[in-house]
Each structure stands twice: as structure tokens, then as C-alpha cells.
Amino acid sequence: MFDDSTLYVDPADVPFDRTIIVPYPPEARASGVHDRGYRRRVWYKRQISLDPALLPGPEERLILHFGAVNYRARVWINGRFAVEHRGGHSPFSLDVTRHLDGSILEIAVQAEDDPQDMHKPRGKMDWEPEPHKIWYPRTSGIWRTVWIEKVPRAHVAQLRWTADVARWQIRLDADIAHVPEGGMANVTLKLAGRLLVADRCLLTGPRLSRIFQLPDPGIDDARGLWMWSPESPQLIDAEIEIRSAEGNLIDSVQSYTALRTVSVEGDRFVLNSRPYFLRMVLDQGYWPDSLMVASSDQLRHDVLLIKRLGFNGVRKHQKSEDPRWLYWCDVLGLCVWGEMPSAYGFSSATVHGVMEEWKELVERDISHPCIVAWVPTNESWGVPELMNDRRQVDFVRALYHMTRALDGTRPVVGNDGWEMPCGDLVCVHDYEQDPTVLLERYGTRDAVAYTLEHVQPDRRRLVIDGFTGLGRPLFLSEFGGIAMSKPGEESGWGYSVAKDSKELLLRYQQLMSAVHRCRPLSGFCYTQLTDTFLEKNGLLTEDRVPKAPIEALAQATRGPQAHLQDWVLDPLGHSQRWRARRGPDFPVEWTRVGETAEVLAYPGERQSPQVDAPDIPPTEPGPSAGPPGFERRGRGGPGARARRKVA
């Protein structure tokens, strides 16, 4: 029910007048509503008759999970107010056990979001009635999966994995709810079925911390079979058990981790103690009929296309993506820069909202080995007066230092694009279309020093407040943006326009050739993966169809030295050695991409609003649902519980 005038405060009084397919937002065609008007408040209600297997016993609890609700969510269970959460991109959960009335679970949700509030995190959601320039349709209400999970009273509530390649160690930090007296924790780690760790310890409190020393094979050639990288995305399976003092099993959680370390050494980005050049693409994470929501197959398909285009990394732009997408980046091997959806204006409300939501997102994603950098601020969004307001500079610095405090294992970007007052990486946005100019600006270290001090690619100073950026890894973190015009196509734009596929490929090859010759760079991020509403500068259409031969695009992406690696890498950038040993639990269909004609009918195609929501998991995982138990994982990805969830 749309409550545009915010008249109702109690769900019992709300005249619910329509149905919607969750988790699609009402603005999406796939929701069955497809209403893009200003909606300040939206109400939901659903009544569930719980299966007897889901009814909690005296020593069990029923947890209700929300993947994301925009922006302020208030939840009632069986008519009783239960919880309030602020933050449109971060998850939250609540224990509904005490609210149960027999087997009936009635959930009511009030989602409130001022569409024109410029001081809350909103990413790319437009404040004008229709999408314009680089802004996209709004996403109101529930837009990630809602599910319930039965757990023992004593259970693993949270996991965090941290790897240290230099010491060949993996650390586990776990939160245990209602620790049983005399209880024990058992932890096992396995690599391709081989037992690495079988650990047992006494639980003395709600916080469990263990460091596991792994058997170090020593030489790089042997170590390479253990470590995670885009070329060899090796994961380590984990299981954590909670047992009573008598040895009885109370709780069991399946998870995974990886031996993967990222760092900065001088002006180089380092992966697993070796310099690593990042070839990234900017990914907006939108689909034409479902907006910011996608099925697991669609998410996997995007990861495969990114790798097929020759990229080894991706910058998910102004969006906290579904954890299942991060899962596929872990499994298939793709480096990710995790980014905070920005506010647009600055105020105390901006500080509170961005800080709190960013902390929740970092904590949600911190165990994913694919994430190799954090981006809390982009292009001075939310801090538009960095040159004139000391408070805004301090806020950017505070976000940087807070992120470093939450996670000291990854580099943090101060302000991606320009006006950087701090940062472990120096990230420049430069949409210059002349390849020779890019080479002049970034081709030598002397040229880089001059560019950082004197050149303003978007009429913005690149470094401020005493921060020189010299001696740190330099990334051209947005460039390109070549659009392709089509006769009769709806209006759109790009930073330059090619008349056809042949011209687009030629321009792309020329830009990539120049960037690969810029030796001071530690990597780049091309704009962008897909056309997105008015932005027609994707390498793919909005339906995920390549605009030029994908093999030729990939060759340009990989650079002039790519032929030296062709004998060890497949079209997805995986080493032949890794492919040969990935084991029977890695179905070959997970890496199926297909040619252009097949992509048209693949999961990236538009979905009909009449189909069931793809985020509702099957009772048993299908062949493309991930490893055994993946679609049953309560939170998806590392630290997830391997129990069957019910939508």
C-alpha cells in the first residue's frame, strides 16, 4: 500500500490494496507494480503458516532476516512492534520467537524514504521524477530477499575470516550467542577435500578467536595451488560446530575462506606478496526490468561476462551488491572494490547516516576474499565543498580512518576521482578521449607528478590538504565511456560516441593501448560494463549483449603482452593448472558463458513480471545454485549458516 501522505502509523489500520512480488521494488516491472512515482512511505504485510519443522522448540529461536529495505524500516510481528532499522543498503535481522502465536507468523513492514532527501545514502537513485544524466530510477521499500531461519538458542551468530599469506595463517573470529556452559567449538578446514585443520577448544565466552597455522609448502610453485587469485580462485572449505559439555552437537555452520592477502608496497598494488595489475570495469548493477535486483544466475552471468571481456576486477559503483554476487566473485575469481552508496548533500545527518550504514556494510562483506579495496567516498558526493569546508575534509578523513580501523587488511580510497585529502591508493577519473593525452598525463612518473599537482581533468583539483599522492599506487579508476549510437534509439549519451561496432572497437583498442603503456599505473577501471538507462557507454547493452566481438574486446583489455599468457590462461582468465584440479564439486556449467546469440537467451535477459521471484530459493539447490547448501545459507558467502531458508 502506498502511503504517500504518511497517514498511517499502525499496520492494523492500513488498507492494503495491491500485491507485489518481493524482493522486486515497486518501481520495477518485475514487481508487478511498476510505479515510478514519488513514494514516501510503503507498507507490506504477509501472513505465513509455519511448517511444523520450522516451529522453534524451548531451546530454539526463529530469526527473520531482511537483505535490504530502503530507507527506514519498521517491522511488526503478529501485530506487535518488533524493530526499527535505518539504512537502505545494509541488512538487519530480528528474533521473532517471543512474538509467535502458534504457527502463525504475520509480518508487517513500514518502509519510509523521502525521495528528495539529499542527505541520506542513496547511490544512483534519482531525485527528479524521471531518470536523467547519470541518475537512475528510485528503489523503494524491500529490495532484497526476506527469509526466516531456525537456529538453536546457542548458535554461531557471526564469522570473520582473516588470512595472512606471509605467516601462512588463517584467523577465525566468531560471535557465539548464548554460550553453553562447558561448551566446545570444533573447527575444520579443508582444501580440495584434504583436511588441513581439525581444531577443538573450550568456549569461555561469546567471542571465539583462533589462529590456524597451515602447513607451508614453501616454494611459489607449490604455494600457488593453495592461494586465491582471479587466475586461480582456490577456496578453503570450513565447518564450525558448537557442542555441549557432553559432546552433543548443538549448531553447525558451513563457510569458506581463502589464503589471500592484499597490500601496498611503495607505488604498487600487491596481491599475495607480488605486484598485481588490476584491469577493472565499472559496474552499475542494474537490470532493465528489475532495477537493482537480480537472480543468482544473472549475478553469476555478469561475473562470467566481466571475466570473458578480459577484466580481472570490477568496481561495483555506488551500490552494495547482493552477497551472492560477491560469492560468485569469490568462486569464479574476480577482484572487487567495495563502495559505499553516497549521499549528495553534507550535514550532520549525512555524517550519522553514512558512518552507520558503511560500518554495517563493511562488517557484512569483510570475509569475502574477492574484495581487495574499500571506497567509502566517490567524487566528493556528499561532501561538495571539500575545498572550502574543513568539516567535510575531516569527514572524508574520518571515513578513511574508520574503515582502516574496521579492516586493516585492505587498502582504502580517500575520495575516488579527485579532491583526495588522504588514501592508500590514488584514484583519478579522467574521461579524456585522446589516447595521446592520456599517455602524456600518466606515461611517466614525472608526468604523473605534474598531473596530480596541475592538471584538473574535470575542473577539479586531484589532491588537496597537503596530500600529494606521490609514492602510492596510481589508478585511472574511471576513464573511457565510449557510447555507440543506433538509428531510432531512445535518447542517451556517452563521453564520446561511436557510429557503429567497428568504430567502438577501434576507439576502445586505442584507449586501452595507451593506458597499458602508462607504466606508473597500478591499474585502471573502464566506464562501463553495460548501458544503464540514459548512459549508453557500456561494452554490453542493458540486456548483456556485447557491442563488439567479445574476443577482440578482451584482447584489448588484457593488453599487448596478453599473448605471452595465452598458453596458461583460458578465455575466463583461469590458469589451466587450476582448471585441471578444481575437482568434481565445481560443475562446468558454472563457467558457461556462450556466444552472443546464446547470451540473448541467458539469465541476463529481461524477465517477465509474471514469473516467480528468482530470489526465492528452491527446496534443494539446482545445478547453478552454487555448491551444496549454498542457497540454504542464511547470509550467503563466508560466515553463512548452512540451513535451509524459507522465503
The reported pTM is: 0.91
Average pLDDT, the chain: 89
CATH topology of domain 155-257: Immunoglobulin-like (2.60.40)
pLDDT tens track for 452-461 = 999 999 899 9
Considering only residues 278 and 129, tell me which one the structure prediction assigns the higher pLDDT: 278
List alpha helices for 466-518, DSSP H: 501-516
Give the pLDDT score at 579: 85
Residue type for position 144: R
Single out the residue of 371, 370, 278 nearest to residue 330, CA to CA: 370
Pick the CATH number of 262-576 from 3.10.530.10, 3.30.565.10, 2.60.40.10, 3.20.20.80: 3.20.20.80
pLDDT above 60 for 637? no
Architecture of domain 11-149: Sandwich (2.60)
Query: Cβ distance 523 to 277 under 8 Å?
Result: yes
How do residues 115-167 score in pLDDT, each as one tens digit? 999 999 999 999 998 888 999 999 999 999 999 999 999 999 999 999 999 99
Q: How far is CA 368 from the centre of its chain?
A: 10
For residue 146 the three cell numbers come to 526476506
Three cell numbers written together for 609: 513480471
Cα torsion 633, 316, 43, 112: sign: positive
Determine what percent of the chain is predicted with pLDDT higher than 90: 83
Whose grid coordinates read 572494490? 337
As annotated, the residues of the chain forming the CATH 2.60.40.10 domain(s) are: 155-257
Across 42-46, 78-82, 219-223, 628-632, least confident range: 628-632
Are residues 283 and 302 in contact, defined by beta-carbon separation less than 8 angstroms? yes
At residue 583, the pLDDT reads 64
Q: Which among 323, 465, 457, 444 is positioned nearest to 390, based on CA atoms?
A: 465
CA distance 397 to 412: 11
Q: What is the pLDDT of residues 586-624, one digit of tens each?
A: 777 777 765 433 433 333 333 333 333 333 333 322 323
Q: Where in the chain is the domain with CATH 3.20.20.80?
A: 262-576
- What is the C-alpha separation between 339 and 361, in angstroms, rounded? 9
Which element (helix H / strand E) includes 401?
helix 390-406
Rounded CA separation 427/418 (Å):
7
